[in-house]
Structure 1
């Protein structure tokens, strides 16, 4: 296997960390959840510095919730920017300082789905829109489910107060992705990754606490 530049890939295809140091950085918009930053940086083979605006995002976690019957939990939620109600997997922001990603996922699962999972593993990592946002997302798989006690359940507000819930066979969820009926990126990635993992009996899953140096805010 070779890269486009002719260099050998010793350990297979892998993304590389290596940011161009910014010459300038300005926060041009401060939002409720995320900000917009403008940075200029030097780039090889370019005579002039490049300037890019991007969303500075805290990152997110999501989870494929799989029951003993190989059904996946899907939730349909209204998303105003695209004007649609999307079938998604439970997810949430990494907006608690110092909270490990798997603990953020467990918190979100309890808040959004009233569930606790005994088994957690990393399923996939992704950048939602790397050309315009720092948002990194880790997709977990959660199994060994039990309900949150009634008196401990989170009161959902806003769009989450109107969530629709369905338990869908994994194969049916895969078909919905392939037929263009599911569009949420973490749901698409999570469903297809879970289907691939299931084919090997979930033997190659990463530990729930696996390093995540690719997340811009978690790099050493």
Structure 2
């Protein structure tokens, strides 16, 4: 397999791979190589989940998402990244963090992986320690939804962000199973 880089940016690169096909021929496959991300389904003691509404330029509108961010700090483990994003985007800390689900966002054209965490035992970041939001984070709308209402929103197409849909559905399923079977926050990623 050969690899030709077409573009390199801070978050992703675009490469063309020349791959051998199962039938013996070769084909070019364009791939977006991504640094990876984490997301957090933060559920409080009242079975509410916090979501953010954020503008996404490729869509030309704001959409509902989980607090999430890139794996872009060298040496930071995934759980620490998730806790940092939770504090930066929704001013929350978590006393309990577990792995909810691991997913590839769109494996037909990117290797992007995202680990979704379940955060519980939530508290607020003290005002004097809150992150100053800039750029696309500057006008984030933060809202709490009953978890069952969020499931209904996902099924009705009101939530379309893939990791948010997966996180909402997985959080509801985990709750319905008494939070049993979740992996510890430092569980190795599959694959």
Q: Describe the superposition over 1:41-93 as per-residue Cα deviations: whole angstroms up to 9, x where unpaired.
A: 22322x32221111110000001000110000011000010112101110000
How far residue 147 of structure 1 moved from its aligned partner, in angstroms, is: 1.3
Aligned residue pairs total 191
The structure where strand makes up a greater share of residues is 2
In the alignment, does 2:167 pair up with 1:185?
A: no
Matched with 2:50 is 73
- SS of residue paired to 1:162: coil
Q: TM-score, normalised by structure 1?
A: 0.84
Q: 1:168 aligns with which of 145, 156, 159?
A: 145
1:1-220 alignment runs, 5 A limit: 23-45=1-23, 47-214=24-191
Q: Describe the superposition over 1:122-143 as per-residue Cα deviations: whole angstroms up to 9, x where unpaired.
A: 1111111111111100110001
Higher relative contact order (CA 8 A, sep 6+): 2
Q: 1:43 to 1:98 in 2, by over 3 A?
A: farther
Q: Distance in 1 between matches of 2:137 and 2:40?
A: 16
Q: Distance in 1 between matches of 2:129 and 2:174?
A: 33
Q: Distance in 1 between matches of 2:147 and 2:95?
A: 20
Q: Which runs of 4+ in 1 moved over 2 A?
A: none
What stretches of structure 1 of length at least 5 have no aligned partner?
1-22, 215-220
What is the RMSD of the two structures over their aligned residues, measured on CA atoms? 1.0
Q: Distance in 1 between matches of 2:3 and 2:75?
A: 25
What stretches of structure 2 of length at least 5 have no aligned partner?
none
Matched with 1:20 is none
How far residue 33 of structure 1 moved from its aligned partner, in angstroms, is: 2.1
How far residue 24 of structure 1 moved from its aligned partner, in angstroms, is: 1.0
Q: Distance in 1 between matches of 2:41 and 2:110?
A: 23
- SS of residue paired to 1:82: coil
Q: TM-score, normalised by structure 2?
A: 0.96
